[in-house]
Amino acid sequence: MRKNRLWLVVAITIAYSLPLAAQPTFPENGVANPRHGHYAFTNATIVKDASTTISNATLVVKDGKILAVGANLKVPAGAVEVDCKGKFIYPSFIDIYSDYGIPAPQRAAGGGGFNFAQPAQLETATKGAYGWNQAIKSDVDAYKVFSVDDAKAKPLREAGFGTVLSHVKDGIARGTGVVVSLANEKEHLVIIKDKASAHYSFSKGTSTQSYPGSMMGMIALLRQTFLDAQWYKTKPAAEGLNLSLQSWNDNQGLPQIFEANDKWNNLRADRIGDEFGVQYIIKSGENEYQRIKEMKSTNATFIVPLNYPAAQDVEDPNDARFVSLNDMKHWELAPANAAAFEKAGIPFCLTTADLRSVNQFWTNLRKAMEYGLSENKVLDALTKTPAMTLGIYDKVGSLDAGKWANFLITNGSLFDAKTAIQYNYVQGNKYVIKDDNFIAGTYNLTINTPAGDEKYTLDVKSTNSVTMFGKDTLNTKFSQDGKVVKLSFAPKPVRQRPSGAPEGGQRPPTAGGFGRGGAGTDATLPANAPRLSGISSGQEWNGTGIDSLGNPLTWTATFVKAAEAKPDTAKKKDAPVIGKVVFPFEPFGWEEGQQPKQETILIKNATVWTNENEGVLQNSDVLIKNGKIAAVGKNLSDASAKTIDGTGKHVTAGIIDEHSHIAAASINEGGQSVTSEVRIADNLNPDDINIYRQLSGGVTSSHILHGSANVIGGQTQLIKLRWGANDDDLKFKGWPGQIKFALGENVKRSAAPLGNNRYPDTRMGVEQVLIDAFTRARDYQKEWKKYNDIKDKKGIVTPRRDLELEALVEILEKKRFITCHSYVQSEINGAMEVANKMGYTVNTFTHILEGYKVADKMKKHGSFVSTFSDWWAYKMEVEDAIPYNAAIMQKVGLVVAINSDDAEMARRLNHEAAKIVKYGGVTEEEALKMVTLNPAKMLHVDDKVGSLKIGKDGDVVMWSDHPLAIYAKPLYTIVDGTIYFDRQKDEQLQKQVDEERLRLVRKMNGEKRSGGPTIPAMPSYQIMHSCSDHGHSHGLLVIDADEINND
């Protein structure tokens, strides 16, 4: 309860609004009353900033500014002296992530994102000379829509804030923010800086436009807007006036603040900044402690909220069952987030943003401090750092002459549990938070009745608790609200209590209890209880009342002695014991220092499937050294190697999944029919449990594809399943890029029940989209070539860079390869014809379930093919899909891969390959190649992976059985010579997971039993991305990404 004390005393707040100076331009209704607020606060301990404290010092303010600060200052003539003996003075706090005084953005009905079921909104709904995308609101200036809102200012002032940076929290680009004081003054006077910052986010806010409908789409939109804005500086006639780009450019000189809200999003934002020479200030989320090294690498200043998840009620084991370890760990560790920033030496500000109520601020701040955040850092993060970050340290952020008179007066050192903020001065205006009127202690009460004086003793404990003694201890109801004192009491004791036992009126204060009247003892008071009311003059209270018979009376209470200071029994809290961060922040993640390392590994005496001319070698060895295959053969030895007995076991190259949608924050950008500008690489998610699950099925590389929402989808990313690595380290290095195309039902949105309004709606239109895109790409290529060929570019306007067309030009230049979602023969032939016409090749046809019908043509075109083993009949265009497809295509001479497109099936790709032996009779070696060497070929990495050849990457699996047998299980899955999955170690990790779960469930239950706030248990759902092509049931806790309205 101790931590709540500050809140109790905030109960009384009265604002003394003191117009500093009338605005000259405004007429006065009445007589002029010029006042200057000239005060000198003397004898105080003044904390000028986190590193400078002056004892016995004076602060002089006038006209809302600080005139002087220091020891031995004379009180100037004309100043009112306020004796601050025993008090501390601090600069008021600054919150630079606020929407104080900003009207709430209104969202129009409908739209909002791409959804297979909804019609699209393809154009902006904003009227005027603005840019094409509704989520780019760079033209919005907060200072133009700002208005003073004292109801919102009050809780902020009570928490100690004097200054905020406000902006309109709406859109991907959000325009500029305004710095204002929290004084209850005219808008003209409270604005400290009108255009103080520019704001960005990964949320479309009220935009109803379909694009962007994904994380990668938002990133692409920001990148393209940077390019367009640069180009707009050349005043291109074709663009006319574009207010959005104009404002974008105007805003670039301001501090740039990006609301990213999540560890990976922070990195995504920072990378956009890096590309365009901008260092964003990043508004963080609650989970940065999970990747603090990466946060540090951004070199950004962060704005850190103090929001934490509540404990869940997990007493029912059946409820606890579905609350994930991650959610419980995060609950435990989130309060340590701010401390993690401090420990890592990352500059940061603190904000009240994200809190359900500003009233939580101090509770949560104290919790952050329990978890290791230091007092000095807190003060800095609330004063100097935000002021420096915005470049307004000349105005606020410390107590120095010339700055705005925004300061706090407290009755002790700010962070002591017993200390209260008594006054928050904003622009020299005094706002009372907890006045001195109330003095706890013993009072003598005299009630003057017609029968004579009655004497009592009052032991006043708090503003709503008193113990009253006459002959006996009496039941009371008491309140002191500012100067007004009220007391009623039972004239006779209701029941005896042992002395010293708490009275009814001493109900323990509860959080947020301020503002309530007395403690709830009225029920115990008789109806005829005498009622007294009076006014406090500090040490003396005087008033009137009515006695138990209804007669009027008068009364007086006088202060006798202060309450005896109770010895501080509360022990200094030890830092809480908390679990360890694991990498990734997932079950089966590694603790720091436990990550598997690259080793020299020698597998002895196994059946080795080389995928090379040597074929399958019996009783042979494989040596992996420095992350590469060092030797394959018999009787190998290496003294430094970890030796694994492979007797009776099989060794193959790691499985490569040509078509996967794991490990990404978003998969489909369907807002337009051509989105070659979006990149899966921009939104990789290393915290996907499916990485580990695929490792358990022998997969070492996965090709993460854009979905099939549109004809030209996004750029794909090949990853290696380095469980625990960050997003950048997941990438398969040295891989030429690919891009996803799609044909057929999905791109014409056949499943949309309300119909489709996005071009194309037929396979005829699909062909035209392709032709149009590549025609534009060729023109674009020509335009740039022409420009690049000009030697003297003086006076020549640089063409506009177009990220969409750039990616297509890469295809034409054979630097980027297509993998094309396709099913029926007409569209496959159509796609090849367009490719031939436009001068490119369709590198891979993926899905390609009617490939068997056109295998000869694809061979001639030079395509690879990647298919499912036996899927069919889930939609019209796969009605003719047959499981013999792969075998026929292979026999015709195509390089065939079997892919998963599904996190579940990806764990059994060896079995999917085995089905091609069953259906069509390819040899077992050829079948295995369909999930190893063949996908490597179509991904253009067969020089690095796909077979057990000396010099290739050490991506190797050891199986318990024949790798195509249903009974085969991977025993080791090795990537780059590092064992990422080890079936025995998996059992240990599972034990750790179970133990950690048990510990945390108990801890949450403890929290509940000790009266802490808990919310009902919420199952931890996971989002699963797919091609949106076929339904999968992945169990109780999985939500398909398509069910989610991306916003």
Partner 1 sequence: MKKIFLILSIGFFFSVNAQETVLPTKPHKGVSYIKNATIHLGNGKVVENGTIKIVDGKIAEVGTNVSVPAGTTDVVDATGKHVYPGLILATSTLGLGEINSVRATQDSREIGDMNPNVRALVAYNTDSKVINTLRSNGILLANIIPQGSFVTGSSSVVQLDAWNWEDAAYKTDAGIHVTMPSLMARPGGRRFGGGGGSGPQQPASDPVKEGLEQMEGLKSFLREAKAYLNEASHEETNLKYEAVKGLFNKSQKLYMHGNTVKQILVALDFVKEFGLEMVLVGGSESFQVAELLKQHNVSVILSQPHSLPTGEDDDVDQPYKTAAVLQKAGVLFAISDEDGQTRGRNLSFNAGTAAAYGLTKEEALAAITLNAAKIMGVADKAGSIEVGKDANIVVSEGDILDMRTSNVTDAFIQGRKIDLTDKHKLLNDRFQQKYELKKKGF
Q: How far is the CB of 660 from partner 1 (least distance, A)?
A: 14
Residue 304 engages partner 1 in binding (rule: CB under 8 A): no
The label of the residue with tokens 């309530």 reads: 516
- Contact with partner 1 (CB under 8 A): which of 966, 998, 1002, 1009? 966
Q: How far is the CB of 999 from partner 1 (least distance, A)?
A: 13
What residues between 320 and 349 interact with partner 1 by CB under 8 A? 321-322, 324-327, 330-331
Rounded Cα distance, 228 and 583, in Å: 39
Nearest CA-CA partner of 476 in 519, 445, 540, 446:
519
Residue 645's SS3 state is strand
| Closer Cβ to partner 1, 408 or 903, answer by number | 903
Tell how far CA 976 is from the center of its chain: 32
Nearest CA-CA partner of 867 in 844, 897, 843, 894:
897
Residue 117's SS3 state is coil
**Contacts of residue 900, Cβ cutoff 8 Å, sequence gap at least 6:** 657, 659, 660, 906, 909, 912
With CB under 8 A, what is the number of residues at the site for partner 1?
A: 108
| Closer Cβ to partner 1, 160 or 213, answer by number | 213
DSSP 680: G
- Contact with partner 1 (CB under 8 A): which of 344, 439, 616, 1023? 1023
Longest CA–CA separation in the chain, Å? 118
- Contact with partner 1 (CB under 8 A): which of 531, 628, 908, 999? 908
The label of the residue with tokens 């807002």 reads: 671
Residue 286 engages partner 1 in binding (rule: CB under 8 A): yes
Stretch that binds partner 1, among 38-46, 48-56, 594-602, 1016-1024 (CB under 8 A): 1016-1024
Residue 1020 engages partner 1 in binding (rule: CB under 8 A): yes
Q: How far is the CB of 681 from partner 1 (least distance, A)?
A: 17
What residues between 672 and 691 interact with partner 1 by CB under 8 A? 689-690
Stretch that binds partner 1, among 2-10, 129-137, 779-787, 880-888 (CB under 8 A): 880-888
Residue 722, CA distances (Å) to 583, 599, 731, 943 in order: 11, 14, 9, 20
**Contacts of residue 451, Cβ cutoff 8 Å, sequence gap at least 6:** none
Q: How far is the CB of 688 from partner 1 (least distance, A)?
A: 9
Residue 903 engages partner 1 in binding (rule: CB under 8 A): yes
Q: How far is the CB of 533 from partner 1 (least distance, A)?
A: 42
- Contact with partner 1 (CB under 8 A): which of 366, 486, 748, 911? 911
What residues between 411 and 470 interact with partner 1 by CB under 8 A? none
What residues between 978 and 997 interact with partner 1 by CB under 8 A? 986, 990, 993-994, 997
Residue 761 engages partner 1 in binding (rule: CB under 8 A): no
Residue 1046 engages partner 1 in binding (rule: CB under 8 A): yes
Residue 855 engages partner 1 in binding (rule: CB under 8 A): yes
Q: How far is the CB of 876 from partner 1 (least distance, A)?
A: 6
| Closer Cβ to partner 1, 212 or 509, answer by number | 212
Q: How far is the CB of 179 from partner 1 (least distance, A)?
A: 26
| Closer Cβ to partner 1, 120 or 849, answer by number | 849
Q: How far is the CB of 711 from partner 1 (least distance, A)?
A: 19
What residues between 175 and 234 interact with partner 1 by CB under 8 A? 202-203, 215
| Closer Cβ to partner 1, 833 or 924, answer by number | 924
- Contact with partner 1 (CB under 8 A): which of 176, 287, 437, 843? 287
Q: How far is the CB of 669 from partner 1 (least distance, A)?
A: 15
Rounded Cα distance, 394 and 910, in Å: 67
Classify each residue of 129-158 as buried b or exposed e, where b means 16 or more C-beta atoms within 10 Å of its C-beta. Answer: ebbebbbbbbbbbbbeebebeeebbbbbbb
Residue 318 engages partner 1 in binding (rule: CB under 8 A): yes
Q: How far is the CB of 843 from partner 1 (least distance, A)?
A: 23
Residue 892 engages partner 1 in binding (rule: CB under 8 A): yes
| Closer Cβ to partner 1, 530 or 883, answer by number | 883
| Closer Cβ to partner 1, 177 or 285, answer by number | 285
Residue 857 engages partner 1 in binding (rule: CB under 8 A): no
- Contact with partner 1 (CB under 8 A): which of 478, 864, 868, 972? 868
Residue 905 engages partner 1 in binding (rule: CB under 8 A): yes
Burial class of residue 1035, CB neighbours in 10 A (0-12, 13-18, 19+): exposed
Residue 752 engages partner 1 in binding (rule: CB under 8 A): no
Rounded Cα distance, 423 and 433, in Å: 5
HEC-encoded secondary structure of 59-86: EEEECCEEEEEEECCCCCCCCEEEECCC
| Closer Cβ to partner 1, 633 or 1019, answer by number | 1019
Q: How many CB atoms lie within 10 A of CB 311?
A: 21
Residue 959 engages partner 1 in binding (rule: CB under 8 A): no
Residue 891 engages partner 1 in binding (rule: CB under 8 A): yes
First and final CA of the chain: distance in angstroms? Answer: 40
Give yes or no for a contact between 52 and 120, defined as CB atoms under 8 angstroms apart. no
Stretch that binds partner 1, among 101-109, 122-130, 133-141, 908-916 (CB under 8 A): 908-916
Residue 825 engages partner 1 in binding (rule: CB under 8 A): no
Residue 870 engages partner 1 in binding (rule: CB under 8 A): yes
| Closer Cβ to partner 1, 66 or 886, answer by number | 886
Stretch that binds partner 1, among 464-472, 563-571, 671-679, 852-860 (CB under 8 A): 852-860
Q: How far is the CB of 963 from partner 1 (least distance, A)?
A: 10
Give yes or no for a contact between 375 and 347, defined as CB atoms under 8 angstroms apart. no
Stretch that binds partner 1, among 294-302, 644-652, 763-771, 1033-1041 (CB under 8 A): 1033-1041
Stretch that binds partner 1, among 181-189, 314-322, 429-437, 647-655 (CB under 8 A): 314-322
Rounded Cα distance, 46 and 357, in Å: 30
Residue 608 engages partner 1 in binding (rule: CB under 8 A): no
Residue 495's SS3 state is coil
Residue 575 engages partner 1 in binding (rule: CB under 8 A): no
Residue 1027, CA distances (Å) to 749, 755, 790 in order: 13, 20, 44
Q: Indicate the Cα dihedral angle 753, 755, 758, 760, nearest 10°.
A: 100
Residue 716's SS3 state is coil
Classify each residue of 75-111 as buried b or exposed e, where b means 16 or more C-beta atoms within 10 Å of its C-beta. Answer: eeeebeebebeebbbbbbbbbbbbbbbbeebeeeeeb
**Contacts of residue 1001, Cβ cutoff 8 Å, sequence gap at least 6:** 314, 320, 323, 328
Give yes or no for a contact between 897 and 877, defined as CB atoms under 8 angstroms apart. no
